[in-house]
Amino acid sequence: MNLKHITRIALLIGLALAFGCGEDEEAKPQAGARGRPGGPSGRKIAAIPVKGDTVSRADMSAYVETYARLEAERKVSVLARTTGLVEALTGEEGDKVRQGQALVRLNKEELSLRLKQVQAAFEEAKANYQRIEVLHDQRMVSQTEYESTRLRFANAALGLEEAELNLTYTDLTAPISGVITQRLVEIGDLVRGNQEVFVISDLDPLLVRIFVPERRMYQLHPGQKATIAVEALPEQNFTGQIRMISPEIDPESGTVKVTLEVDANGLLKPGMFATVRIITERRPNTLVVPKKALILQTDEDDVFIIEEGKARRVAIELGFIEGGQVEIISGLKEGDIVVTIGHEGLKDGAAVRLAGTPLATSEEGGSSGGEGGWQGGASGNASGGAGQQSGDQAASGPNSAKSDSSATGQAARPDSTRQTKHSQGGGR
């Protein structure tokens, strides 16, 4: 290779290096303008709209809640005690009756005739016995004949007593005070002895029998108050109290029977389906948040709180759950704002704003969404992950990885896991 050729190659290499360095110097400020926060071409990202609620204080309680049907304390059948035709009825279903009040009158003609026949037979047996007794004293009749005559006289006396008693059975009365719940005969029906004609129930108080897991039985005691609700009267609650706790545990179900009496107030009826709630512990003025603030994507108890326009994921310890509220043992303080709607797929550190507040924005690297509503915010949050990935992984560290796992791999976890964990009897 001659010197001229070598010189030409060196010149070409020098020109190439000079051109490359000049291009890098131009590219650097442009890249910095786009990627550095505050650069002239930095893209503004709208904050994700969410709804929130303030951590407040309320009275919370733990309770045993179960379901059963109401039943009458006493239910008595009125039975006919003799045979006869129904002549009159003085009670109808739904009527209140007093103990001893007449309900049914049977026809007495046949029984009166029967009484006359029995009376005649009795008089004949009596006279015959008196005659044989005199002869027996004079040893003019055998002992066997005397005993036979005396037996016939005794039977006649019993027959007379029965006939007289049957005549009094034509008027049937109420054995207890209560309400007629069934009338089983009509006027003109022929009833026989031991036939059921009425059913009377004592409706106040009513009883309800529930079955409680043995692990909860020592939280209950006789006299403990209960709240009773029925579907037919959804706006009204009734008061009950424990009357008796069975001393035995059912070996098959592992439950114990608890009997409560309920003040019916003239409104409750036997057979109604009732919800029974017995308060076992109260915690006044404790920290609470709405139940819908809980993040249900993992087995952990977490919520998002809003601090300086950012969503921050916080681990909490739960206490009692009652209605739509949950008790907070630790992790939050009064006045914190928790996200209640819009936390699905939300990432730790994402820019957020409360719905109804002025639109806020953040630089590129936050989540996209904004005025697109809940769907737009959620989709922006998800799609923004692509543009956000490098910044999040660098800035958020372990929390970011945890948030990603919750929003993807754990998103399909059913809510029943948390329900089973926290919904047993109003608390843990």
Per-residue pLDDT of the chain (428 residues; tens, 9 = 90+): 455 555 566 555 655 555 444 444 444 444 444 444 444 445 566 889 999 999 999 999 999 999 999 999 999 999 999 999 999 999 899 999 999 999 999 999 888 998 999 999 999 999 999 999 999 888 888 999 999 999 999 999 999 999 998 888 999 999 999 999 999 999 999 999 999 999 999 998 999 999 999 999 999 999 999 999 999 999 999 999 999 999 999 999 999 999 999 998 889 999 999 999 999 999 999 999 999 999 987 778 999 999 999 999 999 999 999 889 999 999 999 999 999 999 888 999 999 999 876 655 544 444 433 333 443 333 334 333 333 333 333 333 333 333 333 333 333 333 333 333 344 445 44
Q: Are residues 344 and 372 in the same domain?
A: yes
Residue 145 lies in a domain: yes
Tokens 């010189």 belong to: 7
CATH number, domain containing residue 367: 2.40.420.20
User: Could you tell me which residues come within 8 angstroms of residue 245 by beta carbon, excluding any fewer than 6 positions away?
Assistant: 217, 220, 221, 222, 256, 257, 258, 259
Residue 258 lies in a domain: yes
Alpha-carbon distance of 266 to 129, in angstroms, equals 62
Q: Which helix (H) or strand (E) holds 3?
A: helix 3-35
Q: In a 3-state reduction of DSSP, which class is residue 95?
A: coil
Residue 342 lies in a domain: yes
Residue 210 contacts residue 125 (beta carbons within 8 Å): no
Choose one of 149, 169, 189: the last residue of a domain: 169
Q: Are residues 302 and 410 in the same domain?
A: yes
Residue 143 lies in a domain: yes
Taking residue 193's Cβ as centre, other Cβ atoms within 10 Å add up to 12
Alpha-carbon distance of 379 to 389, in angstroms, equals 15
Q: In a 3-state reduction of DSSP, which class is residue 211?
A: strand
Taking residue 404's Cβ as centre, other Cβ atoms within 10 Å add up to 18
**DSSP type of residue 300:** S
Parallel, antiparallel, or unpaired: how do β-strands 48-54 and 352-354 relate? parallel
What is the pLDDT at residue 111? Answer: 87
**Is the pTM above the cut of 0.75?**
no
For residue 249, the one-letter residue type is: I
Q: In a 3-state reduction of DSSP, which class is residue 160?
A: helix
Containing domain of residue 217, as a range? 63-71+204-282
Residue 252: burial class (beta carbons within 10 Å; 0-12, 13-18, 19+): exposed
Number of domains comprising the chain = 3
Residue 396 contacts residue 71 (beta carbons within 8 Å): no
